[in-house]
Amino acid sequence: MGEIGFNAGKYFSENGAETIGYDIDKKAVIRARAVMDATDVWEEIPHGEISAYVVCVSTSIKDDKPDMSNIFDACRKISLVAKNRPVVSVTSTVSLGTHRKLSEIFKNSVNLVHVPHRYWKEDPVNHGVKQPRVIGGIDEQALRRGMEFYKKFGIPVTPVPTIELAEMSKIAEQSYRYIQIAFAEELKRICDENGLDFEMLRKACNTKWNTNILEARDGIGGKCLPKDIHYLLDCSKSSLPLIKGAMAADELYKRKRRLT
């Protein structure tokens, strides 16, 4: 239970759900016990009574390719114990096509949905667990059950026709943010070369109703955006020059920052 899982569990617990958090990390379990029941022993969970599993495990990159091993490990565990066709909501960012592969593991034993997380730790009240989300289901019944689950806890979800669209929505919105930041970084370099104040330029441009140039800080970091832009690259066999250009622009910007 990292940042996403901890806060999701906390939210459901505070809003009336009998919540049990699970993690293989004992420290994460101890932390979670302050706000919910939690365990690192999978067999202690009364799986026959569970109506919904919310999967919040991390995903990563391995050899420049999406690594979904944590997702598959978690879902295999669930597939062995799931009773009464519970909702299984995967909130982690995943590569395109992941849920069709997961459905082969579950073999119609669960209602599989994808509800990509949206969470900003700087403003958990307005941009925390309870904010508009996208939901896609492996089939119509799963979508309906998933929507009922999230509605029960006051989380607004917008359905999309296929689970692949839900997968792509997260990849696309993250990549869009990446490109926005990379443009700001490129623009700042141009300003520096010409002796112009980037912040003054940015504020001037942003007076236009449909312009919102972002800040240029220390380069694109963290775990999510650099990972998720690779997920977008993995979706296509084409060259994708815009995406690769944004990645190159960010690398150049960070290199210039290190030299100053």
Do residue 157 and residue 33 come from a single domain?
Answer: yes
Residues 80 and 144 in one domain: yes
Tell me the pLDDT tens digit for each residue of 42-83.
999 999 999 999 999 999 999 989 999 999 999 999 999 999
More confident residue, 39 or 259: 39
Query: How many angstroms separate the first and last alpha carbons of the chain?
Result: 39
Cα torsion 213, 215, 219, 223: sign: negative
Token representation of residue 26: 């004992």
Across-strand partners of 52?
Answer: 87
What is the number of other CB atoms lying within 10 angstroms of the CB of residue 130?
Answer: 16
Q: What does pLDDT average to over the chain?
A: 96
Per-residue pLDDT tens digits for 84-100: 999 999 999 999 999 99
Residues 181 and 152 in one domain: no
Render pLDDT for 102-137 as a digit per residue (tens, 0 to 9): 999 999 999 999 999 999 888 888 899 999 999 999
pLDDT of residue 122: 87
Answer with the one of 141, 161, 181 that is the final residue of a domain.
161
**208-259 residue pLDDT tens:** 999 999 999 999 998 899 999 999 999 998 999 999 999 999 999 999 988 8
Taking the C-alpha atoms of residue 22 and residue 39, their distance in angstroms, rounded to an integer, is 5
Query: Do 181 and 113 reside in the same domain of the chain?
Result: no
Query: CA 193 → CA 97, 115, 189, 196, distances in Å?
Result: 44, 44, 6, 8
Same-domain pairing of 148 and 66:
yes
For the chain, where are the alpha helices, taking DSSP H only? 3-14, 26-32, 69-81, 98-106, 140-152, 163-193, 198-205, 224-234, 241-259
| Rounded average pLDDT over 132-154 | 98
Give the domain range for residue 53.
3-161
Q: Are residues 99 and 195 in the same domain?
A: no
pLDDT in tens, 179-219: 999 999 999 999 999 999 999 999 999 999 999 999 999 99
Does residue 183 sit in the same domain as residue 81? no
Question: Domain with 135 in it: what CATH number?
Answer: 3.40.50.720
Rounded distance between C-alpha atoms, residue 206 and residue 142, angstroms:
42
* Residue 96: predicted pLDDT: 97
Residue entry with tokens 């969470």: 119
Amino acid (one-letter) located at 118: R
* Whole-number Å distance between alpha carbons of 81 and 76: 9
Number of domains in the chain: 2
Residue where a domain stops, chosen among 110, 132, 161: 161
215 and 107 part of one domain = no
> Do 152 and 177 sit in the same domain of this protein?
no
Domain CATH number, residue 227: 1.10.1040.10
Same domain, 231 and 108: no
- Do 86 and 124 share a domain, yes or no? yes
Quote the CA–CA distance of 189 and 251 in Å, as a whole number.
12
Instruction: From 117, 139, 161, give the residue that closes a domain.
Output: 161
Residues 218 and 234 in one domain: yes
Single pTM value for the model: 0.94
In angstroms, how far is CA 103 from the centroid of its own chain?
Answer: 20
In angstroms, the CA 217 to CA 235 distance is 29
